[in-house]
Structure 1
Amino acid sequence: MQNIITGDQAVSMYERIVKFHIISHYKLQRNATNSTVSPMHYLNMEQLTKALSSLYHLYDTNHKSGNNYESEAEFYSFYVLLHLGSDHQPTGESLSLWFRNLPYSIMKSKEMMFSRRLLRYFRFGNYKCFLDAIETEASCLQYYVIEPYICEVRALGLACLNHGGYKLNPYPLVDICKLLLLEESDVESFCKDCGLDTFTSDEGIKFMPTKQTSFCYPKGPQRYYPMISKQLNKFYDEVT
């Protein structure tokens, strides 16, 4: 089929293939504790990268015939989001060089502007802007690509609160949940995942002491903590 169909039909097929692998990426990530998932996750990512490469080639070919596609910008944004934690593509080409080959209309699209801002927030450790941007701007498929990075960013935010606070002024967990977009019931568990203690005051308010030296980034398969967002909760329901 890949060698038979061309033009709009081929683009439509590859877009559906990419969507399939992105949703698979999301679901496999949720089952990371299963020992059989890791090889499947690697193979799925490999196929996703190949499908995106083929799709971009089709876009470029069809541009020469004067064809453009409404969802094109979002599909280009996936490539950037898949490389949030990497300075280089698997081929060794830097993202800055990859950006130079994109059409101007794609570079200025809201989808690509979002992915580039998210990349900048991630690289500079701006956890608050990173999480806020996801909550308010991410599309369904963009969120599925981004979710594996959220735990790492939240842990960075917790590290900043721990190291930057005053020892005599513990941090209320209710405030942490607002900053990290965590459900209040999950904040205490997330602190423990990061090696941090919490306590409950005589008034029944939960706090995290600051300046703890036991902080560590979560290791191994990560527990899933949903983000506080009506929009994102809608996304969860679409693939469960």
Structure 2
Amino acid sequence: MERWQPRHGRRGRGRGSYSSSSFSQSNDSGPSNPSNRVRKTTTNLSNSVINNKQDHNDAEILPNLIGTCPFMCPIEERTQRERLRDLAIFERLNGNPSKSSSTLAVKKFCRTISSKDLRDMDLRPLQVLEDTLNYLLTIFESKEHPFEAIHDFIFDRTRSIRQDLSMQNIITGDQAVSMYERIVKFHIISHYKLRINATANSNVSPMHHLNMEQLTKTLASLYHIYDTNHKSGNTYDTEGEFYSFYVLLHLGSDHQPTGESLSLWFRSLPYSIIKSKEMMFSRRLLRYFRFGNYKCFLHAIETEASCLQYYVIEPYINEIRALGLACLNHGGYKLNPYPLVDICKILLLEEFDVESFCKDCGLDTFSSDEGIKFMPTKQTSFCYPKGSQRYYQLVSKRLKKFYNEVP
């Protein structure tokens, strides 16, 4: 997890281990295998939450730092990046690639930083970090540029914000909690949008993979901050939902090996979190998925999922739909084909999407003389969709507004 925590409550910062080593190591296998990718990221999150003490290295020899930089980007860095023409499109003054300003430039994430060269003026204090995050999330809502370009910029700059928070050991207080929660929301919305865009653009897939890594690391840091604030008697109404994201990231048949770690993780949670409405929903959804109860799974999402929970769950909806289609195909009578209009109600698909989804699963359909479309049962050609899948929205009046809320 991208966080350094000193011993004995001393302030300080880690070397490059929390940035370069953990990040590069997690990319060794690449994003080519989605199953390995998700298994690894969820396993890493389990290990980082349960074994966070392993991250508390080199605390005794690190300087005590309190940021004094009043700008979103230190002046020296901005000047250097202007000279190197290393300015993102959002940082350019009047579109000039070699000119920026204090109101446009935002500090970049640095994987390797020497503690010998680090100064207080290189770090931004809490209020400046919060203002910077507000500015970044304003860009996130912009429609003027392609989403991939917006995401790539904010992805890097929010990592830099987390880096400055970690170096100053800012892990208590409402501001720190709120900032980490908002960064988690950014990664979750990006997780949803990048997946949708990946079906049409193969170049988005690596971005989706890296975003998942940072989502899990930011969640792990947020859980650590929650624990720290609990010791001071502070709790937050949002904890139930943010803890539920961890459970929802374990959905899927390819995540079964992480089940033991998930069980251990449950034991470490306060009783109030376990019994929260959001956590009860996520645990019930996990059971539905692993037992193959596709009807209850889809119904629970349609009636109970929050906006952010739906964005996390969405990649697994087609998988459970395919299971439902397999049950209808194998369990039906050969002489009684299924009307597609009935299938769309069961799987919460649009009528015009049902035929396409059947084809994705290797199943044929036909039209009667009256123009009614059916799916024959007992077909032996069924297969689970592989590779890039078309995006199918979940038909729900309640969830429909969520589709329109995405920046």
Task: Give the TM-score of the pair, scaled to structure 1.
Answer: 0.96
Counterpart-to-counterpart distance in 1, 2:291 and 2:206: 31
Matches within 5 A, 1:1-240: 1-3=164-166, 4=168, 5=170, 6-33=172-199, 34-85=201-252, 86-89=255-258, 94-239=261-406
Whole-angstrom distance in 2 between the partners of 1:204 and 1:216? 27
| Partner SS for 2:336 | coil
Deviation at 1:35, TM superposition (A): 2.1
Deviation, structure 1 residue 153:
0.5
Superposition deviation, residue 205 in structure 1: 1.3
- Give the secondary structure class of the aligned counterpart of 1:69: coil
AA aligned to 1:38 is S
Report the number of matched residues: 238
Letter in 2 for 1:27: K
Q: CA RMSD in A?
A: 1.2
Residue 87 of structure 1 aligns to a residue whose secondary structure is: helix
Letter in 2 for 1:139: S
Deviation string 1:79-115 (CA, Å, 9 cap, x unpaired) is 00011121244xx952111100010001011100000
Q: Percent identity?
A: 85
Distance in 1 of aligned mates of 2:260 and 2:369: 57
Alpha-carbon contact 1:87-1:94 (below 8 Å) kept: no
Q: CA deviation at 1:145?
A: 0.2
Normalising by structure 2, what TM-score? 0.57
Question: 2 CA distance for matches of 1:47 and 1:88?
Answer: 21
Structure 1: how far apart are the matches of 2:190 and 2:257? 24
Q: Distance in 1 between matches of 2:204 and 2:256?
A: 26
3-state SS in 2 of match to 1:53: helix
Change (3 A) 1:20 1:182: same
How many angstroms apart in 2 are the aligned matches of 1:84 and 1:225?
Answer: 18
Deviation, structure 1 residue 230: 1.1
- Partner SS, residue 210 of structure 1: coil
Q: Is the 8 A contact 1:77 1:112 kept in 2?
A: yes
Q: Which residue of 1 aligns with 2:123?
A: none
Q: Return the index of the structure with the highest Cα Rg.
A: 2
Secondary structure of 1:213's aligned partner? coil
Label 1:74 to 1:88 Cα distance change in 2 as closer, same or farther (>3 A).
farther
Instruction: Please report how far the alpha carbon of residue 206 of structure 1 lies from its aligned counterpart in structure 2 after TM superposition.
Output: 1.0
Cα deviation 1:35-56 (Å, max 9, x = unaligned): 2212111111110011000000
Instruction: Kindly report structure 1 stretches of 4+ aligned residues shifted beyond 6 Å.
Output: none
SS in 1 for 2:165: coil
Unaligned 5+ segments in structure 2 are 1-163
